[in-house]
Chain A
Amino acid sequence: MEFDEVAQVQTPDEAHQAGSSEQTGFPSPATHYLESRIDLNKILTRNLDATFFIRIKGDGYRELQINTGDVLIVDRSMTLARGKLAVVVKEGEFKIIRIASNDTLDNMEGQILWGVITYIIHKV
């Protein structure tokens, strides 16, 4: 499966990180400047309990810059705003829409909001 590789992004096990000697050698000049590494899980998902991943099959959403194989990060807890992409349900089917800047948010024309798309994971 070509999608599998994305799943291999994993946080390194702490036991497998290089340590430094406390007895010998020079103290690192970076000692007081160390920060924890960037963790995509924290950055891309603000509320994990309301976050779902959805895969797209087919090229019907090209005009929204969503291609086949892409994975959407969908946050159900986010409020919908103009210009956002959203997953909605219309007549029992999932659809993706962009809320145009002149749309009134309460007029969804029979579409039920399922979640707000926050990021699109695109494999290159």
Chain B
Amino acid sequence: MIALVDCNSFYASCEQVFRPDLWGKPVVVLSNNDGCVIAANKEAKALTEIPMFEPVFKIKKLLIDNRVEFFSSNYTLYGEMSQRVMNTLKLFSPGVEIYSIDESFVDLSNMRFVDLHHHGMDIKETVYRHTGLPVGVGIAPTKVLAKLANKMAKKIAKYDHVCVLDTQAKCIKALKNAELKDIWGIGNKHRQRLNNRGVFNAHQFAYEVSLDWVRKNMTVVGERIWRELRGESCLSLEMLPRAKKAIGTAKSFGTKLSSLDLIEEACAYYIAEVSEVLRKQKSCAQYIQVFLQTNYHSERDKQYSKSITVTLPTASNNTYILTREAKTALHSIYKPGYRYKKVGVNLSGLIPQEYVQTSLFDAEIPACRSDLMKTIDKINQKFGKSTVSSALVGNRMNQWELIKNDRSPRYTTQWNELLTIDAG
């Protein structure tokens, strides 16, 4: 059996742990680049007018009128709280696959003699007690069914956030009540196709559509879902995190920028961020993409956006090499006379660093260079992000960085931002 544990409106819940004045009140969290709503708790969702992914300047009045509390995203806090949840889950089973920041699969295959519903309740209550975060638990024989059970746990009040599908009869009943859109991995296109064939619920898909049809029309991915829905486990738990295939970052500037040198500094800063992640996962990038764009929401600004992808002579994770390449790339797409909103970088073609092929004319990358990177990473880890950085990053961040006005304190990672109780 497999449990899928996921946190209820995770970002908003993280904020609420430290703000009891907001318990039971509507809370939304905004993305840190475009100022869109990216998360809302159930109280906020109940006010149906709040559109997700709308730029916040369009709905700010709506939020204020409805007394919705809004926060800029505080990924430092969410990441740390997520670790607490995942570690707490490990108390219940050594097999925990972290699927996303707020979702994990927990292997319960060795729990043959425990009451699974009781166990699920125990998971839910322990995570809440230890971290303050509410979770839902779905338990079933396969991942796809566990995902469905988790949906039911959330949707159907009588389950009280824990739903167990441990018999064939319960699975069949669940499938009959599940629409295709509730099934993990069936996208819009396939749903349309299945609808056209008269297939509307998950039970019809799993028991009335032939395996041949699924294989032919939905490839091996569809076949796995089909089998998993029938109770045959095809997706194993992945305990080790997968290395990323590409990594990038792009954030809007605080104000529109026209001058190349400030854009360069932002670009160099992002390169430092992503190359540090590369080094952490011990891989190197073969390609680097740089893009630049104006504000497409603005009607009075001239519009321009351009992207360029460069193949590196030798795959690298060295901040200085990547910064140099990015700078050249940026120069080739920058055009004066526009007010730019955003610059972004994306490193792709990631390969393990031990497989890097040097070119014929390369001097072997001197060991001292990577020692330098190691040292810089250590310093920055110890004394805070970008304590040491390349000169191109400069020190004018306040002129381009988006100020996160509504960000909550980093309660769990910064000694100066601890939760404070007023004892007036």
Whether A55 contacts B130 in the complex (CB less than 8 A), given A50-B84, A60-B424, A92-B23, comes out as no
Which residues of chain B are near A87, meaning CB under 8 Å? 421
Task: Say yes or no for B419: interface residue by CB 8 A criterion.
Answer: yes
Tell me which of B84, B131, B132, B423 contacts A60 (CB under 8 A).
Answer: B423
Q: How far is the CB of B317 from chain A (nearest CB, A)?
A: 23
Tell me which of A4, A47, A58, A60 contacts B416 (CB under 8 A).
Answer: A4
Q: How far is the CB of B349 from chain A (nearest CB, A)?
A: 35
The answer to whether B420 and A54 have CB atoms under 8 Å apart is: yes
The chain A residue with its CB closest to the CB of B24 is: A92
The answer to whether A49 and B419 have CB atoms under 8 Å apart is: no
The answer to whether A92 and B419 have CB atoms under 8 Å apart is: no
Which residues of chain B are near A72, meaning CB under 8 Å? 421
Which residues from 219 to 244 on chain B have a C-beta closer than 8 Å to any C-beta of chain A? none
The answer to whether B423 and A68 have CB atoms under 8 Å apart is: yes
Which residues of chain B are near A49, meaning CB under 8 Å? 83-84, 87-88, 130-131
Q: How far is the CB of A123 from chain B (nearest CB, A)?
A: 12
Which residues from 44 to 77 on chain B have a C-beta closer than 8 Å to any C-beta of chain A? none
Which residues of chain A are near B419, meaning CB under 8 Å? 52-55
Task: Say yes or no for A59: interface residue by CB 8 A criterion.
Answer: yes
Task: Say yes or no for B217: interface residue by CB 8 A criterion.
Answer: no
The answer to whether A94 and B129 have CB atoms under 8 Å apart is: no
CA distance A112 to B348 in the complex (A): 49
How many chain A residues touch B (CB < 8 A): the figure is: 33
CA distance A92 to B421 in the complex (A): 12
Q: How far is the CB of A66 from chain B (nearest CB, A)?
A: 7
Which residues from 81 to 104 on chain B have a C-beta closer than 8 Å to any C-beta of chain A? 83-84, 87-88
Which residues of chain A are near B132, meaning CB under 8 Å? 76, 114
Which residues of chain B are near A58, meaning CB under 8 Å? 422-424
CA distance A29 to B415 in the complex (A): 41
Task: Say yes or no for A61: interface residue by CB 8 A criterion.
Answer: yes
The chain A residue with its CB closest to the CB of B130 is: A50
Which residues of chain B are near A124, meaning CB under 8 Å? none
Which residues from 10 to 44 on chain B have a C-beta closer than 8 Å to any C-beta of chain A? 20-23
Tell me which of A71, A92, A112, A114 contacts B418 (CB under 8 A).
Answer: A71
Q: How far is the CB of A84 from chain B (nearest CB, A)?
A: 16
CA distance A1 to B415 in the complex (A): 11
Task: Say yes or no for A40: interface residue by CB 8 A criterion.
Answer: no
CA distance A89 to B21 in the complex (A): 9
Whether A50 contacts B129 in the complex (CB less than 8 A), given A92-B21, A93-B21, comes out as yes
The answer to whether A76 and B20 have CB atoms under 8 Å apart is: no
Task: Say yes or no for A18: interface residue by CB 8 A criterion.
Answer: no
The answer to whether B130 and A4 have CB atoms under 8 Å apart is: no
Which residues of chain A are near B21, meaning CB under 8 Å? 92-93
CA distance A118 to B302 in the complex (A): 60
CA distance A96 to B411 in the complex (A): 19
Which residues from 87 to 120 on chain A have a C-beta closer than 8 Å to any C-beta of chain B? 87, 89, 92-96, 112, 114
The answer to whether B20 and A52 have CB atoms under 8 Å apart is: no
Q: How far is the CB of A77 from chain B (nearest CB, A)?
A: 5
Task: Say yes or no for B390: interface residue by CB 8 A criterion.
Answer: no
The answer to whether B420 and A57 have CB atoms under 8 Å apart is: yes
Task: Say yes or no for A43: interface residue by CB 8 A criterion.
Answer: no
Task: Say yes or no for B303: interface residue by CB 8 A criterion.
Answer: no
Task: Say yes or no for A26: interface residue by CB 8 A criterion.
Answer: no
CA distance A59 to B88 in the complex (A): 35
Task: Say yes or no for B311: interface residue by CB 8 A criterion.
Answer: no
Task: Say yes or no for A34: interface residue by CB 8 A criterion.
Answer: no
Task: Say yes or no for B370: interface residue by CB 8 A criterion.
Answer: no
Which residues of chain A are near B20, meaning CB under 8 Å? 89, 92-94, 112, 114
The chain B residue with its CB closest to the CB of A59 is: B423
Tell me which of B83, B416, B423, B424 contacts A3 (CB under 8 A).
Answer: B416
With most chain B CB atoms within 10 A of its CB, the pick from A50, A56, A71 is: A50
Q: Contact string, A12-29, partner B, CB cutoff 8 A, digits 1/0?
A: 000000000000000000
The answer to whether B422 and A52 have CB atoms under 8 Å apart is: no
Which residues of chain B are near A66, meaning CB under 8 Å? 423
With most chain A CB atoms within 10 A of its CB, the pick from B21, B88, B130, B132 is: B130
Which residues of chain B are near A61, meaning CB under 8 Å? 423
Q: How far is the CB of B409 from chain A (nearest CB, A)?
A: 11
Which residues from 124 to 142 on chain B have a C-beta closer than 8 Å to any C-beta of chain A? 129-132
Tell me which of B84, B412, B416, B424 contacts A1 (CB under 8 A).
Answer: B416
Task: Say yes or no for A7: interface residue by CB 8 A criterion.
Answer: yes
Task: Say yes or no for A6: interface residue by CB 8 A criterion.
Answer: yes
Chain A interface (Cβ within 8 Å of chain B)? 1, 3-4, 6-7, 47, 49-50, 52-61, 66, 68, 71-72, 76-77, 87, 89, 92-96, 112, 114
Chain B interface (Cβ within 8 Å of chain A)? 20-23, 83-84, 87-88, 129-132, 411-412, 415-416, 418-424
For this complex, 8 residue pairs linking A to B, each with C-beta atoms less than 8 Å apart, are: A6-B415, A7-B415, A49-B84, A49-B87, A50-B84, A50-B129, A50-B130, A54-B420
Ranked 3 nearest A-B pairs via Cβ: A60-B423, A58-B423, A50-B130
